[in-house]
Chains A and B, each alone.
Chain A
Amino acid sequence: MRLKFNASSLALVAIAMLSTSAFAADDAVKIGLVTRTDSNPFFVKLREDAQAYAKTAGAEIVAITGKTHDDAAGQVAAIEDLTALGVKGILVTPSDAEALNDAIAKARAAGILVIALDGRVSPDSAVDATFATDNLQAGVLQGQWVRAALGDTAPRVALVDGTRGTVSTRERHDGFLKGFGLQEGAPEIIAQQNISNQAEAQTALENFFQKDPTINAVYTVYEPAAVSAHAVTSALGLAGKVAIGSIDGSCDGIKAVADGQVGATVVQFPGKMAELGVQAIVDYAKTGTKPSGFIDSGAVLVTDKPFEGIASQNSAWGLKNCW
């Protein structure tokens, strides 16, 4: 998932991991992988899948992760190190849209293919290509489903947003409003808050429903917040009366959909991003062809309450494709 976890203003969370497969054959294609942090299963899954896929494709992954979710300086250093190491290509999940550009430019000047995974850099042309979830589209899918779930009832919406100021927080939020058919600041929006972990989400939701128990639709930026939305509404005897949507595709999140706690979630595919990225670099090593532009790694709505006109998969499918 892409929620930015501000580990703490004191944060020096030191779990930088350097995993090199020292025994890989010398002629294997060397691929650098720079993730944001291991404090998020999304990136752990992305790395594991990249390593698994690299093995089958005859490539070798040199993985480096930032110390925190926002460790742009650590990522710059990682890209510089990988450039010096002479990898064929670098896959990076950028923690900042612009801070990495200089280091990326130097890597590309050295003939290295650089692909952004999971998030964009600005401008898009700073990297060779971007493979990521279209967060706006993911938000749209959630918005469409929640709107449909309300049927004819007048919407009273609460929004649980991710960490303030990040691109994915904004894109998911905007997408939801677009899919739902609401303007920013519309009177149907009863409450909104930015959160950075589940405890904060739960507190925010309790206060929302204390403020106004007639809320009937809840947008959540990630699944633990949706699980809390279920806990809060069922404590108030509102279980089943509030449409709860989410985004991410973690296996716990899909389970919550299967259990009926969460109405729908939108799955994103870190494994797919990893696979596309590794394949592109292997191709580049063999044929010299470079990918370009933005390549959507896909977003799929998962719900057991499908609606006409909104493409979706059921939770059984979700459980097979979660991370």
Chain B
Amino acid sequence: MLVVPARPDVAAKADESRLAAWGKSLRGHPLVGPALALLLLIIVFSFASDRFLTATNVSLVLQQTLVLGMLALGQTLIILTAGVDLALGAITVLATILAAKLAVGGVPEELALLLAVTLAITASTLNGWLVAKVRLPPFIVTLGAFTVLTAVSYLLSGSRSQTIPKGFLTLLGQGVSIGGVFVSWGIPTLLAAYALFAHILGNTAWGKHIYAVGDNPDAARVAGVRVERTLIGVYAVAGLLYGVGAWLSLGRIPSADPNAMANIALQSITAVVLGGTSFFGGRGKVLGTLIGALIVGVLRNGLTLAGIDSLFQDIITGILIVATVSLDQYSRRRST
């Protein structure tokens, strides 16, 4: 905790009630709700199936959450600017198709990936440009991009999945076995991305600007933040994350499928909102999104292990969304 140096009395006061303050800040902390929800699910499922809380299954859930987790990270950045990205699945799918087509056509896999990531960045940057410069609503811009890019994916792929051989493009699906538990390179990749963006949002000027732009763009502009540049930058960086998401996806299933990720835009929004980020921008933490994505993955895995119909996943996820947001609203009203 930072203390005003000129006023030692404040420091003393803070010291004396540190414990109480700690408890209070924990109660008001934005990650407590999502973390408790995840913990609760884990406890319930470990009673429901003795195969749930095993190292193998933990690894499995992580593998299954990689792509969603990476895309939801980009979605978090965009939602923090009071935007939303409906195109992220379409961008990612198109990147997988381009990479697979190029690689199968004889382009070196590293170059194929580079071009696919460049495509993802370009597409998302264009969205950001339309949002920032032309001032179109993000919902409309990304809905349009979703529509166009989905069609382009079908055209480029001839509506067919393109299978690719094992290699650099599937690298993130390979990994090591630690004590018999498979850990793919995708897992440290995802965790590193979250650590990096937790740092960027929490400790850098750009991170502060993202929050400020999402909270109140006019106030940010008047304070000297270059709002348009910040916005375009966020979409560009999100595009980079989608490119990495495409790489993760090819690692998980060595096939570029134009039908893939049809629902991932909504799933990523679900993960972001479950993670406590405000849908209206300016407030949230990327770590919350990681927890949110894990909630989605744990629910899917746990209910299957418990032998419960998959429709209940949707029912429970929906209830969780509304519950976390109400809890958040409630605690906010109390804390202000």
Task: Assess A/B contact in the complex (Cβ within 8 A).
Answer: yes
Interface string of B22-66 (1 = CB under 8 A from A): 000000000000000000000000000101000011001001100
Categorize the interface residue count of chain B.
Answer: 35 or more
Could you tell me if B263 and A204 are in contact, using CB atoms closer than 8 angstroms?
no
Q: Does B290 have its Cβ within 8 Å of any Cβ on chain A?
A: no
- A199-B249, A207-B305 known; A13 vs B151 contact (CB < 8 Å): yes
Could you tell me if B262 and A211 are in contact, using CB atoms closer than 8 angstroms?
no
Could you tell me if B163 and A6 are in contact, using CB atoms closer than 8 angstroms?
no
A10 touches which one: B63, B86, B252, B300 (CB < 8 A)?
B86
- A39-B258, A203-B64 known; A210 vs B51 contact (CB < 8 Å): yes
A197 touches which one: B67, B146, B259, B305 (CB < 8 A)?
B259
Which residues on the A side are within 8 Å of B260 (C-beta)? Answer: 197-199
Which residues on the A side are within 8 Å of B305 (C-beta)? Answer: 207, 210-211
Could you tell me if B146 and A39 are in contact, using CB atoms closer than 8 angstroms?
no
Q: Does B204 have its Cβ within 8 Å of any Cβ on chain A?
A: no
Within 8 A of B (CB), among A191-240: 191, 193-194, 196-199, 202-204, 206-208, 210-211, 224, 227-228, 231, 235
Which residues on the B side are within 8 Å of A164 (C-beta)? Answer: 311
Q: Does B255 have its Cβ within 8 Å of any Cβ on chain A?
A: yes
Min CB–CB distance A305 → chain B (angstroms): 22
Most buried by A among B57, B143, B146, B151: B151
How far apart are the CA atoms of A250 and B158 in the complex, in Å? 13
Q: Does B253 have its Cβ within 8 Å of any Cβ on chain A?
A: yes
Q: Does A102 have its Cβ within 8 Å of any Cβ on chain B?
A: no
Could you tell me if B147 and A13 are in contact, using CB atoms closer than 8 angstroms?
yes
Within 8 A of A (CB), among B150-165: 150-151, 154-155, 158-161, 163
Which residues on the A side are within 8 Å of B261 (C-beta)? Answer: 197, 199
Could you tell me if B266 and A9 are in contact, using CB atoms closer than 8 angstroms?
yes
- A207-B301, A252-B163 known; A202 vs B253 contact (CB < 8 Å): yes
Could you tell me if B182 and A235 are in contact, using CB atoms closer than 8 angstroms?
yes
Q: Does B265 have its Cβ within 8 Å of any Cβ on chain A?
A: yes
Q: Does B310 have its Cβ within 8 Å of any Cβ on chain A?
A: yes
B252 touches which one: A39, A44, A199, A208 (CB < 8 A)?
A199
Most buried by B among A8, A38, A164, A208: A8
B146 touches which one: A10, A196, A206, A252 (CB < 8 A)?
A10
- A8-B265, A41-B160 known; A199 vs B60 contact (CB < 8 Å): no
- A39-B159, A207-B301 known; A202 vs B182 contact (CB < 8 Å): no
Could you tell me if A7 and B310 are in contact, using CB atoms closer than 8 angstroms?
no
How far apart are the CA atoms of A10 and B269 in the complex, in Å? 13
Most buried by B among A12, A199, A224: A199
- A15-B151, A207-B60, A210-B301 known; A199 vs B257 contact (CB < 8 Å): yes
How far apart are the CA atoms of A228 and B161 in the complex, in Å? 13
Interface string of B67-89 (1 = CB under 8 A from A): 10000000000000000001001
Q: Does A154 have its Cβ within 8 Å of any Cβ on chain B?
A: no
Q: Which residue of B lies closest to A164 (CB)?
A: B311
Within 8 A of B (CB), among A114-156: none
Could you tell me if B262 and A6 are in contact, using CB atoms closer than 8 angstroms?
yes
Could you tell me if A15 and B154 are in contact, using CB atoms closer than 8 angstroms?
yes
- A6-B262, A194-B310, A203-B300 known; A13 vs B253 contact (CB < 8 Å): no
Could you tell me if B154 and A5 are in contact, using CB atoms closer than 8 angstroms?
no
- A7-B262, A12-B147, A206-B64 known; A197 vs B257 contact (CB < 8 Å): yes
Could you tell me if A191 and B258 are in contact, using CB atoms closer than 8 angstroms?
no
Could you tell me if A38 and B253 are in contact, using CB atoms closer than 8 angstroms?
no
Which residues on the B side are within 8 Å of A228 (C-beta)? Answer: 253
Within 8 A of B (CB), among A33-66: 38-41, 44
Interface string of B7-19 (1 = CB under 8 A from A): 0000000000000
Could you tell me if A198 and B147 are in contact, using CB atoms closer than 8 angstroms?
no
Min CB–CB distance B104 → chain A (angstroms): 12
Could you tell me if B257 and A38 are in contact, using CB atoms closer than 8 angstroms?
no
Could you tell me if B154 and A198 are in contact, using CB atoms closer than 8 angstroms?
no
Which residues on the B side are within 8 Å of A13 (C-beta)? Answer: 147, 150-151, 154
User: Which 7 residue pairs of A and B lie closest in terms of their CB atoms, listed nearest first?
Assistant: A207-B304, A8-B262, A15-B151, A197-B259, A211-B305, A41-B159, A41-B160
Instruction: Show 6 residue pairs from A and B whose CB-CB distance is below 8 angstroms, ordered by the A residue.
Output: A8-B265, A39-B154, A41-B160, A44-B158, A211-B307, A252-B163
- Seed contacts A41-B159, A199-B252, A231-B253; 7 additional CB < 8 Å A-B pairs: A7-B150, A8-B262, A10-B143, A11-B150, A38-B159, A228-B253, A252-B160
Give B contacts to A, CB under 8 Å: 49, 51, 56-57, 60, 63-64, 67, 86, 89, 143, 146-148, 150-151, 154-155, 158-161, 163, 182, 249, 252-253, 255, 257-263, 265-266, 300-301, 304-305, 307, 310-311
